[in-house]
Chains A and B, each alone.
Chain A
């Protein structure tokens, strides 16, 4: 999935969850501006994990502040920086 598609899907998840129009959810919007509380954050993170088949570590979750943070986090987590080592014989 390319970056624009990741961005579109993340915005869709947040907009649907908060019953907002798509155009209201932009990269620069903070969670506070979207009236997202801690439970919204957990809920949306769960959706994102399901859709992109990723696991967001606790320490990353606590640092999320904006829509852009979510998108960038997904892009980072879905591309492992180190390839999986081959099993040793």
Chain B
């Protein structure tokens, strides 16, 4: 089978509107989490939400990126997708080297055009107002993938994957498989999400898994996740193709594993997550001893972090407590269907720079939950062990849907 490498990176996140900005925030531990502020939909100055923080993209101005026609036709979730995809495609010089019908676009998106849905529904229900004629096309979860294809003129397979918080990881994994198999010569893949709407924040508030303070994955006193938004995109192609055209190579994807718990809609099970990790390693033909970093799903909820730690131990046995682990959600928040792509970007940069990002939200060993028995990277980034070139990026979604990507440090 063909080897698959990454030749383009793009992002628009709460910790950076470009990959260099994201990289600096990632390794310097600069968080994008901040106060929610006053939502425009809030009534009487109170938004009724128990938590007070989220990770939003600051200062995004669609006018700087799009014509008025595109702005009218799109929800921010599609706009984020286009901006990030353009960066990745430009960096890879994708369109000059691959026929448009041989390129796939596979994007993860969980909530679609949530804000457009809410605004139009509120107008309808409370004022019996007319519904905007572009509501359907603004809100469909595949709109981002379609708009990227229109924007770049890509005519190969274009699809959206929606598996809640694992959407982007599933999307990247399927794109990897398509390029590896030769079904397409290249792919744009990743995830995008703009879920920070009044209704969505209130819905998450009702589940009581959002931190009333701030996201602290793997902490003794962790009290939940912090919601975020954003997009991250990649160009994938075969190693042969990249070498033939002398493209810059940022990393290599070597394995993909997926599984379903088939038990509960919100309560994760370690067996399912462990199975996805084992499948990713088997797909990569990698030994557990080769794994030098795990970018954890690490939401900061009691249940996820405990179950994910158990899954790591089930997968790696005695090695489980020795593999460096971090969650970067304390920086960029949990951006739902995009989060797997944002974390894949963090993992790719970690391997490329041989520097493993610290776990955000806590800095000292005393703050770590000792019952998890994990080697959490604290404070400063840690130099990678060059003898352990494999890194995993885990995504464990509501509904018991698990997806794990395996990356290998690419050495030219």
Interface of A toward B, CB cutoff 8 Å: 37-39, 42, 46, 58, 61
Are B206 and A58 neighbours in the complex by a CB distance under 8 Å? Answer: no
- Chain A residues contacting B207 (CB-CB under 8 Å) are 42
- Chain B residues contacting A42 (CB-CB under 8 Å) are 206-208
Within 8 A of A (CB), among B244-288: 264-267
- For residue B265, which residue of chain A has the nearest CB? A39
Candidate in B207, B208, B303 with the most chain A CB atoms within 10 angstroms:
B208
- Chain A residues contacting B266 (CB-CB under 8 Å) are 38-39
Are B206 and A46 neighbours in the complex by a CB distance under 8 Å? Answer: yes
- For residue B223, which residue of chain A has the nearest CB? A58
- Chain A residues contacting B208 (CB-CB under 8 Å) are 42, 58, 61
B50 at the A interface (CB under 8 A): yes
Q: Which 10 A-B pairs have the closest CB atoms?
A: A39-B266, A58-B208, A42-B208, A42-B207, A46-B206, A38-B267, A37-B267, A61-B208, A39-B265, A37-B264
B379 at the A interface (CB under 8 A): no
Complex CA–CA separation, A37 to B265 (angstroms): 11
Candidate in A38, A42, A46, A58 with the most chain B CB atoms within 10 angstroms:
A38
Within 8 A of A (CB), among B207-256: 207-208, 212
- For residue A39, which residue of chain B has the nearest CB? B266
- Chain B residues contacting A61 (CB-CB under 8 Å) are 208
Are A39 and B264 neighbours in the complex by a CB distance under 8 Å? Answer: yes
Within 8 A of A (CB), among B172-213: 206-208, 212
- Chain B residues contacting A38 (CB-CB under 8 Å) are 266-267, 303
- Chain B residues contacting A37 (CB-CB under 8 Å) are 264, 267
Complex CA–CA separation, A58 to B208 (angstroms): 7
B52 to chain A, nearest CB (A): 14
17 example contacts (A-B, Cβ-Cβ < 8 A) are as follows: A37-B264, A37-B267, A38-B266, A38-B267, A38-B303, A39-B264, A39-B265, A39-B266, A39-B267, A42-B206, A42-B207, A42-B208, A46-B206, A58-B50, A58-B208, A58-B212, A61-B208
Complex CA–CA separation, A61 to B212 (angstroms): 14
- Chain B residues contacting A46 (CB-CB under 8 Å) are 206
Complex CA–CA separation, A75 to B206 (angstroms): 22
B203 to chain A, nearest CB (A): 11
Complex CA–CA separation, A61 to B207 (angstroms): 12
Given A42-B206, A58-B212, A61-B208, 11 additional A-B pairs, CB 8 A: A37-B267, A38-B266, A38-B267, A38-B303, A39-B265, A39-B266, A39-B267, A42-B208, A46-B206, A58-B50, A58-B208
- Chain A residues contacting B206 (CB-CB under 8 Å) are 42, 46
B215 to chain A, nearest CB (A): 16
- Chain A residues contacting B267 (CB-CB under 8 Å) are 37-39
Complex CA–CA separation, A39 to B394 (angstroms): 24
Complex CA–CA separation, A39 to B265 (angstroms): 9
Contact with A along B273-317 (1 / 0, CB 8 A): 000000000000000000000000000000100000000000000
- For residue A46, which residue of chain B has the nearest CB? B206
A59 to chain B, nearest CB (A): 10
A36 to chain B, nearest CB (A): 12
Complex CA–CA separation, A39 to B268 (angstroms): 12
Complex CA–CA separation, A46 to B205 (angstroms): 11
B58 to chain A, nearest CB (A): 29
- Chain A residues contacting B265 (CB-CB under 8 Å) are 39
- Chain A residues contacting B50 (CB-CB under 8 Å) are 58
B173 to chain A, nearest CB (A): 28
B269 to chain A, nearest CB (A): 12
Complex CA–CA separation, A38 to B303 (angstroms): 10
- For residue A61, which residue of chain B has the nearest CB? B208
B400 to chain A, nearest CB (A): 13
Complex CA–CA separation, A38 to B212 (angstroms): 19
Contact with A along B312-325 (1 / 0, CB 8 A): 00000000000000
- Chain A residues contacting B212 (CB-CB under 8 Å) are 58
Complex CA–CA separation, A14 to B292 (angstroms): 48
Complex CA–CA separation, A42 to B203 (angstroms): 12
A89 to chain B, nearest CB (A): 22
B305 to chain A, nearest CB (A): 15
B383 to chain A, nearest CB (A): 39
- For residue A49, which residue of chain B has the nearest CB? B206
A2 to chain B, nearest CB (A): 29
Complex CA–CA separation, A49 to B367 (angstroms): 34
- Chain A residues contacting B264 (CB-CB under 8 Å) are 37, 39
- Chain B residues contacting A58 (CB-CB under 8 Å) are 50, 208, 212
Within 8 A of A (CB), among B3-23: none
Contact with A along B22-66 (1 / 0, CB 8 A): 000000000000000000000000000010000000000000000
